[in-house]
Amino acid sequence: MTPASSICMNCRVYAILLLLYPSTLRRQFGEEMIEVFAQQLHDACQRDGWAGGVGVWWCVAGEALRASVSSHLQIVGISLVSGLAAFSLMCTFFWAMQL
């Protein structure tokens, strides 16, 4: 697979991942987000090889998770702060259960 086709394939996957974001954000910034992602992926792979690409995807995954959780919590009327607090308490509970 050539570097250009690899970046193209990654952009298609990223475009699918953008479905986790609120529709208004996707309509307003979706194309620009894909362009920035492609440039970041290209630069990271040029600089650090495949490890650079993994680093970009790691950042993307974290951002997509935060954006999707935030938007879905807002839909059900829970603020991000209270949602994260509840999530933190739940994680602490399950961690304590493992002891």
**In the chain, domain spans:** 3-98
Res 88: pLDDT: 75
Query: Residue 78: which pLDDT band, with cuts at 50, 70 and 90?
Result: low
pLDDT digits 0-9 by tens, 10-48: 999 999 999 888 888 889 999 999 999 999 999 999 999
Contact in structure between 23 and 66 (CB atoms under 8 Å): no
Contact in structure between 45 and 3 (CB atoms under 8 Å): yes
Taking residues 47-53, what's their average pLDDT? Answer: 91
Tell me which residue of 2, 67, 8, 70 sits closest to 41, measured CA to CA: 8
Percent of the chain scored above 90 by pLDDT?
43
Bigger pLDDT: 99 or 29?
29
User: Is the pTM value of this prediction over 0.75?
Assistant: no
